[in-house]
Each structure stands twice: as C-alpha cells, then as structure tokens.
C-alpha cells in the first residue's frame, strides 16, 4: 500500500509521468497506470482522506467480487496434495486430469489458488536448526550406475552411497557393489576420512545393514554397525520409519547427486567400480565448490569455516570391518566360523557365545567379556586350539572322552570301532576329533548298526574315514553294494583257471 500512496503523491503533487513514477518506485509503467485507474474509479486523489488506513485503501482500490451463484465441482484437495508428492506429478497435470472429468470445473488459475489455500491450512513443518559438526545424514540413492563386466559382458548395477553434513551440506558420494553390511560400513569409513573428522551423530535410514529392528525409542542397531560406531565414538541415531523429513538433508543430497553427478555420467560406459568412483570424484569436488545462489560461499567454504573445526579427530587406527554371529560351543569346546573351528575355555562347552571375526582375527565373548582370541584361519575343516583352553588330561566336560567313544563303537561292530579309533588319532589333540566321532556314531540312529558297520568297513578300505564320507556311503547305498557283490573264487573248476601248479 505504501507504493500506491507514493504513486498518488507523485502523480497529483509532482505531476510525474507513469514511466517516471515507475522508475522511482521500481514497478512497471503498466502497474502504475492500473493504480491510477483504480484510484479514479474509487474517487481518490491526493491527499487521501484523513484517517484512511491501509486496509481501507486496499478495499477501495481492490473491492472483492460478489459471490457467484454458480457452484463448480471441486476436486479432493487432500488427494491432490498426496498426488503432488509423486515423482514427476505437477499441478498442471492434475488440473488437466480434473478438467477431463469435469469440463465445467475450475480454470487453471482458480485451481491453483484453491489448492494453495488448502495447503496453507495444513499443519506447519518444523524447520530444524543444525549445530556445526553435530550430524551426518547418510542414505543410498534409488538411482544406480551401470557397470559392464569386461570378462563376461554382463551389465551390473552399482549402488550410490550419499552422506551430507547438517550445517554446510558438505557432500560425499561413492559407488559400491551392494548395500550389504561390508559395503555399508566401508562407505562410512571412507566418508569420515574424506571429511577428515568424526561428527557427534550419524543419522541413517532404517536399512537392514544398519538397523536390525527399527524403533522410535530404542532401535536395535546391527552389531557390526554398532562396533563401527564404538570405534569412532559416534552415536547412531536412525530416522523414524517412513519419515523422510527426519533426514531431509540427505534426501536433498541424493537429488543433487543424481542431477549433478549421475546425470552427467549417463552417456559414459564403465568397466569397473574404480572407474566409476574416479569419474565421480571431480564432479563431487565441483558440487562442493559450487557457489550458493541465495547465500554467500559454497559447501566447501562453509564446511571449512563451521563444520570441520567442530568435528572430532579420526582415531589413529582405521576401523577394520568385523562381522558378528552367535555360536554354540561344542562338546569339544570349539566354535565354528566359516567351517573352521576355534577353541574357547572348556568351561563354556554347550553355552552360546558371541563371535566377532575380521579378516585377521576371531574373538569369542560371553556376556560382553572376551574369553578367546585367535588369528583367522581360512583352512576349512581344521581346528585352531590353545592348550590352556583344555581341561586337565585333555578331557572335555560332561564325561566325553576317547574310551567312551570307543566303547560305544565296539557295541556296533569291530569295523566301526576301528574307524572311530582312526578318527580319534587323526588330530594332535584328541578332543578336536570328538565332534566328528559323535557325528559318525549318531548315524546308527538313521541307518542302523548293520549298515553303519558296513559303511565303516568300506570307508577304511578306500582310506576315507570321515563323517562326510561315511554319511555319503550310507546315503547312496554303497554299503549294500559290498554286501551283495558275489565273491570271486579263484579255485573254481573252469578251463581258463590254471591253478597254482601251472607256475611250478
């Protein structure tokens, strides 16, 4: 209203032209002419009547139209609002669909005006303020990057990991083969090294690699992901399920990564993951150094001024990816990890323990207390044992020992006893063979003593006395072949049999 008053004053008092007035108050000459025309229709000049308020002046110049008696059909504005959240849907498209069903409905301008009135009445959104160095938002892009396998020509899709800091919007982007646990934590490690520090909290989506069981109050974090957080002294604070506004920063970061990085690489062909990340690196640098449109500086400059000084320093040792599993200690007080067996103190036999294993080490925990640690072995079917874990005289708990296994085998037959004796003597420590001996003897329940005796005889004959071999013999009925095979009698009366006298 102040500009309208200035138009009237300059026109009636100063005698300025419409173009001169437009240059003074910085509006178009057409707008100046419209203001003066409305003032003439309202009978106003300068000075304005004493006591006229801005609201009264607006009512005089812009009188509201009388309500129309024509009732036009109205769309479901709530449905319109929901449809607008879909990718690629615009108000113009929704209006066109509405007019196809209701030709006498609103014109496009009225349609937009009514929708904005509906949207303004919706609950307001809290605009979250961020503290420097406090939160790092992470997520995967829905859009992937195609990579051609140079050996097979197969076309594979790489996943795009995106991370954004809260204050500066400083962004990290990289490609990985999967969204699995190893790639998920690996991307986090490389992201923190890219930023040169550790934030107070990381806000992920409820991806299974990060959050085993979502919960607003007490989410269940994946043990390996929690192990990573413990190493870097960072809090994992997952966003709420189906609440993208909780991580709006990374949602916008994903959109920027798709538009400023992936879109520019769409015409290129890649033959390895390294090539993709090499192509992403310079584009990511350009994105972080790109000047803001509505504020001074860039992501890089704001990061260096605000976020970076507030980040905690990186630990001296880089995090080594570790997997966790729960294992039951066998009667031979060994646990199985990737088909290799590691000893724990014998008193934990038959108990469940937590196992943490990396590419180099295997650790066992009972109630968060570490009870065993071994160097990782990749030899399947073998044992790694520590003598201190064994009981006195190398006897396991619960009465299991070599004589007991041999006595059990003798009840089945002499071949079974011989086979079990051979199994017990196949390891440096006899206890390491208990699991295999127990497996063989328990085949008696499934196949019977007679067949097990025959199978042990065949296993001894072919020099393959293992559980897998004896079980395979029984499963495929090879023990019956030996029993049904006719014996060759060299002394039978036949014209082609020369006999022992021939050689004298």
Q: What is the mean pLDDT of residues 124-145?
A: 77
In angstroms, rounded to a whole number, what is the distance separating the alpha carbons of residues 480 and 274? 57
Structure tokens at 489: 């009698």
Same domain, residue pair 89 and 57 = no
Half-sphere exposure of 445 (CA within 13 A, CB side): 5
- The reply to whether 158 and 302 lie within a common domain is yes
Per-residue model confidence (pLDDT) at position 396: 43
Q: What is the pLDDT of residue 252?
A: 81
| Mean pLDDT lowest among 49-53, 251-255, 316-320, 416-420 | 49-53
In a domain, 168, yes or no: yes
Supply the pLDDT for residue 193.
94
- What number of other Cβ atoms are within 10 A of residue 413's Cβ? 17
Query: Cβ(73)–Cβ(66) under 8 Å?
Result: no
- Give the pLDDT band (50/70/90) at residue 281: very high
Task: Answer yes or no: is pLDDT of 494 > 70.
Answer: no
Over residues 276-304, the mean pLDDT reads 89
Q: Please compute the mean of the pLDDT values over residues 236-246 and round it to a whole number.
A: 66
- Domain membership of residue 438 (yes or no) is yes
Output Rg (C-alpha) for the chain, integer angstroms. 40
Same domain, 214 and 148: yes
pLDDT-derived band at 340 (thresholds 50, 70, 90) equals very high
Which domain range does residue 473 map to? 402-484
Task: Tell me which of 93 and 246 has the higher pLDDT.
Answer: 93
- How many separate domains does the chain show? 5
Same domain, 184 and 292: yes
* Distance in angstroms between the alpha carbons of the first and the last residue of the chain: 137
Q: Does 71 map to a domain?
A: no
209 and 232 share one domain: yes
Same domain, 263 and 389: no
Domain annotation covers residue 495: no
Q: What is the mean pLDDT of residues 345-352?
A: 92
Query: Across all residues in the chain, what is the average pLDDT?
Result: 82
Q: State yes or no: pLDDT of 194 exceeds 90.
A: yes
For residue 490, being part of any structural domain is answered with no
Task: Flag whether 19 is in a domain.
Answer: yes
The CA distances from residue 83 to 77, 89, 95, 97, 132, in Å, are: 10, 7, 12, 12, 36
Task: Give the model confidence (pLDDT) of 366-376 as tens digits.
Answer: 988 999 999 99
Shared domain check, 156 and 57: no
Report, as an integer, the average pLDDT of 443-459. 91
Last residue of a domain, one of 394, 420, 443: 394
pLDDT computed for residue 398 by the predictor: 45
386 and 465 both lie in a single domain: no
CB 60 within 8 A of CB 83: no
Q: In whole angstroms, what is the distance from residue 465 CA to residue 471 CA?
A: 10
pLDDT (0 to 100) of residue 173 = 93
**Cα(264)–Cα(292) distance, integer angstroms:** 20
By percentage, how much of the chain surpasses pLDDT 90? 27
- Please tell me the least confidently modeled range out of 81-90, 152-161, 187-196, 332-341: 81-90
In this structure, the answer to whether residues 44 and 188 fall within a common structural domain is no
**Residue 427 belongs to a domain:** yes
| C-alpha span between 433 and 463 (Å, rounded) | 17
Q: Give the least confident one: 29-38, 340-349, 360-369, 451-460.
A: 29-38
Task: Name the least confident of 146-150, 214-218, 377-381, 419-423.
Answer: 214-218
| pLDDT of res. 397 | 42
Residue where a domain stops, chosen among 369, 394, 419: 394
Q: What is the mean pLDDT of residues 313-319?
A: 91
pLDDT at 212 over 60: no
Which domain-ending residue is among 61, 85, 108? 61
What confidence score (pLDDT) does residue 188 get?
A: 92
Average pLDDT over residues 117-123: 77
User: How high is the pLDDT of residue 395?
Assistant: 47
With respect to residue 473, please indicate whether it lies within any of the assigned structural domains: yes
Three-state SS string over 114-174 comes to HHHHHHHCCCCCCCCCCCCCCEEEEEECCCCEEEECCCCCCEEEEEEEEEEECCCCCEEEE
Long-range contacts of 372-379 (CB under 8 A, 24+ apart): 372/342, 372/343, 372/344, 372/345, 374/342, 374/343, 377/340, 377/342, 378/338, 378/340, 379/340
Quote the pTM value.
0.51
* Residue 297 pLDDT exceeds 80: yes
Asked if residue 346 has pLDDT above 80, the reply is: yes
According to the model, what pLDDT value does residue 488 have? 54
**Is the model's pLDDT at 254 over the cut of 90?**
no
Q: Model confidence over 147-178: pLDDT tens digits?
A: 998 888 888 999 999 999 888 889 999 999 99
Out of 105-109, 241-245, 394-398, least confident range: 394-398
Task: Please tell me whether residues 209 and 265 are part of one structural domain.
Answer: yes
- 168 and 274 share a domain? yes
User: Do 280 and 150 sit in the same domain of this protein?
Assistant: yes
What CATH number is attached to the domain comprising 283? 3.30.420.10
Distance CA 406, CA 408 (A): 5
């Amino acid at each position: 209203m102040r500009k309208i008053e200035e138009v009237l004053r300059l026109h009636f008092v100063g005698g300025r032209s419409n173009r001169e007035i437009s240059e003074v108050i910085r509006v178009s000459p057409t707008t100046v002419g419209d203001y003066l025309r409305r003032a003439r229709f309202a009978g106003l000049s300068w000075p304005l009547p004493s006591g006229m308020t801005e609201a009264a002046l607006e009512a005089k110049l812009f009188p509201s139209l009388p309500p129309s008696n024509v009732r036009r059909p109205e769309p479901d504005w709530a449905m319109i609002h929901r449809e607008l959240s879909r990718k690629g849907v615009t108000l113009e498209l929704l209006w066109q669909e509405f007019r196809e069903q209701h030709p006498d409905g609103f014109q496009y301008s009225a349609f937009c005006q009514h929708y904005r009135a509906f949207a303004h009445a919706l609950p307001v959104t809290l605009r979250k303020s961020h503290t420097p160095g406090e939160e790092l938002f992470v997520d995967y892009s829905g859009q992937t990057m195609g990579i051609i396998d140079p050996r097979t020509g197969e076309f594979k899709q790489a996943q795009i990991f995106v991370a954004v800091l809260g204050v500066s919007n400083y962004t990290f982007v990289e490609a990985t083969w999967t969204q699995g646990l190893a790639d998920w934590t690996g991307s986090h490690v490389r992201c923190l090294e890219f930023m040169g520090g550790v934030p107070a909290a990381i806000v992920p989506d409820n991806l299974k690699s990060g959050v085993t069981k979502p919960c607003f109050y007490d989410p269940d974090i994946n043990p390996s992901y929690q192990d990573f957080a413990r190493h870097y002294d960072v809090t994992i604070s997952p966003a709420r399920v189906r609440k993208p506004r909780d991580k709006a920063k990374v949602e916008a970061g994903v959109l920027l990564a798709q538009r400023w990085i992936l879109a520019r690489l769409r015409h290129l062909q890649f033959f390895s993951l390294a090539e993709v990340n090499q192509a992403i690196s310079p584009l990511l640098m350009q994105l972080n150094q790109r000047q803001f449109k509505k504020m001074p500086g860039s992501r890089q400059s704001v990061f260096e001024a605000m976020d970076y000084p507030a980040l905690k320093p990186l630990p001296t040792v880089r995090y080594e990816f570790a997997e966790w599993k729960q294992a039951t200690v066998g009667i031979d007080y060994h646990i199985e990890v990737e088909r290799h067996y590691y000893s724990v103190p014998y008193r934990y036999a038959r108990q469940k323990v937590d196992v943490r294993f990396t590419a180099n080490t295997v650790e066992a925990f009972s109630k968060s207390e570490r009870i065993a640690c071994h160097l990782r072995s990749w030899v399947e079917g073998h044992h790694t044992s520590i003598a201190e874990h064994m009981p006195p005289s190398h006897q396991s708990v619960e009465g299991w020992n070599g004589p007991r296994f041999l006595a059990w085998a003798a009840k089945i037959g002499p071949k079974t006893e011989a086979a079990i004796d051979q199994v017990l003597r196949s390891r440096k420590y006899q206890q390491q063979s208990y699991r295999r001996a127990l497996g063989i003897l328990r085949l008696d329940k499934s196949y019977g003593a007679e067949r097990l005796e025959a199978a042990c005889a065949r296993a001894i004959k072919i020099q393959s006395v293992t559980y897998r071999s004896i079980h395979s013999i029984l499963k495929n009925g090879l023990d019956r072949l030996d029993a049904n095979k006719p014996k060759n009698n060299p002394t039978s009366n036949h014209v082609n049999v020369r006999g022992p006298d021939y050689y004298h």
